[in-house]
Amino acid sequence: MTDATPITDSHCHLDFPQFESEVEALVSRAKQRGVHRMVTICTKLGKEPEVRALAETHPGVFYAAGIHPMSAHEQPVVTVERLEEIAGHPKMVGIGETGLDYHYTAETKPIQQESLRVHIEAARRTGLPLIIHARDADDDMARILGEEHRAGAYACVMHCFSSGRALAEAALELGFYLSISGIAAFPKSTELRAIFADAPLDRVLVETDAPYLAPPPNRGKRNEPAYVVDTAKVGAQIFGLSYADFARATEANFERLFSKAAEWRS
């Protein structure tokens, strides 16, 4: 049975080992539920050829590339020019994920911040949206995003948003987007749902972050793109909409932000 309204999983990781040899089946299951498009995220540039190949193989799969903040210290800081080069691929549609993560890697704050600013400049130059990962770094994240935006505008989505209200408001004030993940569907995430309820509907995306953070009824299991429908159903409840209306809204938002994916033709 296919859900009538098409929807996009704006952030997943199809190259991760949890999905080895299963991508064809994952894409098929997603399509059966109406998930006609997904963006798979490269978090280490050494794996960019592998992630790119997934996008080249599957018509509905696009990709983004960058250095995850938790890996920023493991190699020399990526250059803007390298990110620009990768962005020339017709199915490469976003810069990142990048950002700040002080939960596990607080000792690498300086290199994380340097890497983040490089990615922001690449987003400016390419016109592609920046994809931000933020954990336990709200103050520095808001400060750097604001400083850089004043130096030159760029587009951005706060992926898998689960930070505080102040960072949400700062991001929205800059014209950025917030992405709903399975975390918002967890029963105890009442404050997070309240933050989304106060956000403009035209600034919201939906994602899985698969293989992580599966929403109910699959919480605790491996996540996959098909489950974005379950998260979107919770998003619809947050905004007091039918699933179809919420899916249409997030589709319009995705195509506005990820315009390169919207314009792509095989």
Rg (CA), the chain: 17
Q: Cα–Cα distance between 180 and 151 in angstroms, integer?
A: 28
Would you tell me how many other CB atoms lie within 10 Å of the CB of residue 191? Answer: 10
Known binding residues for a divalent metal cation are 11, 13, 97, 133, 159, 209
Query: Helix, strand or coil for residue 258?
Result: coil
Q: What is the C-alpha to C-alpha distance for residues 91 and 266, in angstroms, rounded to an integer? A: 10
Rounded to whole angstroms, the Cα distance separating 232 from 208 reads 10
Annotated binding site: 11, 13, 97, 133, 159, 209
Q: How far apart are CA 248 and CA 234, in angstroms?
A: 15
C-alpha pair distances (Å), 174 with each of 6, 40, 130, 144, 185: 28, 25, 13, 12, 26
The H-or-E segment that residue 193 falls in is: helix 190-197
Distances (CA, A) of 87 to 15, 52, 63, 140: 18, 11, 10, 27
Amino acid, single-letter form, for residue 184:
A
